[in-house]
């Protein structure tokens, strides 16, 4: 092998090592965060409400990076998770949830971070 071929081969190996060591991760909510009844308590709401996902489209957004690692989040997925958790918490506190209600609570996750 000539010196030029060794240099090209070594450069290729180093470049591939760096490319293959870069990692992308998609962050998703891990699970519900229960709120105890004695912390918030029941709610007295006279009207039925509708909960909507306020994020218009699904796309991956870079939320954090460290070295070659990058973390992305889809805010539409995160907001859907929050809406479903909010629905179950409100139902547990006596609030009527109706998808066709005139009283709309639009929920939107706009930013998140990793700690």
* Separation between Cα atoms, residue 114 and residue 67, nearest integer Å: 15
Stated pTM of the model: 0.71
Phi, psi of 3 (to 5 degrees): -65, -40
- The answer to whether 54 and 81 have CB atoms below 8 angstroms apart is no
* Separation between Cα atoms, residue 93 and residue 110, nearest integer Å: 26
Ramachandran category for residue 25: left, alpha or beta (phi over 0 → left; psi -120 to 50 → alpha): beta
Q: What's the whole-number average pLDDT of the chain?
A: 83
H-run or E-run covering 83? helix 75-92
74-114 confidence digits (pLDDT tens): 999 999 999 999 998 888 888 899 989 999 999 999 988 77
Q: What is the pLDDT of residue 114?
A: 76
41-54 confidence digits (pLDDT tens): 667 778 899 999 99
């Amino acid at each position: 092998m000539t010196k030029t071929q060794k240099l090209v081969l070594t450069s290729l190996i180093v470049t591939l090592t760096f490319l293959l060591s870069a990692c992308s991760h998609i962050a998703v909510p891990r699970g519900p965060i229960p709120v105890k009844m004695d912390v918030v308590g029941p709610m007295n709401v006279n009207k039925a409400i509708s909960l909507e996902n306020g994020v218009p489209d699904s796309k991956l957004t870079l939320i954090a990076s460290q070295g070659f690692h990058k973390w992305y989040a889809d805010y539409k997925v995160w907001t859907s998770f929050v809406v479903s958790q909010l629905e179950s918490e409100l139902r547990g506190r006596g609030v009527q949830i109706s998808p066709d209600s005139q009283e709309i609570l639009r929920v939107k996750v706009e930013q998140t971070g990793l700690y």
